Amino acid sequence: MDMETEDLLGASKDQLNLILSFFARVESKLSVLLAINTGMLAFLASNAPPLKEFSCWMEIPATATLLLLAGSIAVLYRGAFPHLAGGEESLVYFRRIASRTEHKFIEEFKSQSAEQYSDDLLAQAWRNSVILQAKFDALKQSFILTAFAIIPWVVSLALFAARNAQTRSGFLK
């Protein structure tokens, strides 16, 4: 293996590792946003009066909140499980490795040239970049939906608190 090939292999591995290092960041942010959305929904539900006591003014912001948070959660799901097709002949992509027998994978891996291995690493870096872009895009969309949900969520909580205060004061009479 000449020095140029060794440099190419090293650069290919570095590129793949760089792309892979971003996955933990986006995955943790997806998880945090899911927790925030779930918490907002739980807090809204725990403060809501019985449905029969809902007024039109309560329904509008509560429905807006539910739709925005449901949309945010749906986008988070799409970001957590992006489309993983590709790399049909790859000896680096985990799905294609798993589709082979152990023996076949080992033999094919050992028989590839350094250039073929470098190409496979770079193809994997590209494919992971596509997946990572889908995850970041989903995170951004979900964050925007959650941000838009904050105002109707606060309005709903205020209306629920006012209604609950009226109900409690009615018991004291």
Phi and psi, residue 50, nearest 5°: -55, 150
Give the pLDDT score at 54: 86
Here the tokens at position 75 are 């986008």
Give the pLDDT score at 83: 76
Give the pLDDT score at 4: 83
List, in order, residues 6 or more apart from 153 with CB less than 8 Å away: 40, 44, 61, 65, 69
Question: What would the pLDDT profile of 61-110 be if each residue is shown by its tens digit?
Answer: 999 999 999 999 999 999 998 877 777 788 898 888 899 999 999 999 99
Give the pLDDT score at 30: 95
